Amino acid sequence: MNQEKVLKVLLGPVVSEKTTRGAINNQYVFRVTPDSNKREIRSAVETLFGVKVEAVTTLNVKGKKKMFKGKSGRRVNWKKAVVKVSEGQMIDVSAS
């Protein structure tokens, strides 16, 4: 995979209370491009952060239905990846 594609796969970390608790188990959550696959996500994380990835789990998050000034709308769908790194390694998502 070329370097340009690696930089475009990861869109950013998902930081919430639930994902912060997952960091205890060496699991980190990232927002990724909808067309990326597990192999691309694995190589992107290993290249950008210099860690050994054990497992990647992906899921598609459906956008919520919302009302804005009486008109119904919908937020965009997006893809989330849960990355488990090897024991003893960590990613600093607050610096990202």
pLDDT in tens, 15-72: 999 988 888 889 999 999 999 999 999 999 999 999 999 999 999 999 999 999 999 9
Q: What is the domain count for the chain?
A: 1
- Output the pLDDT for position 1: 66
Q: What's the whole-model pTM score?
A: 0.86
Long-range contacts from 62-70, C-beta under 8 angstroms, 24+ separation? none
Gyration radius of the chain's alpha carbons: 15
pLDDT at 96 over 60: no
Domain contains 80: yes
Domain that holds residue 77: 3-85
- In this structure, what CATH number is given to the domain that contains residue 19? 3.30.70.330
Mean pLDDT of 69-95: 91
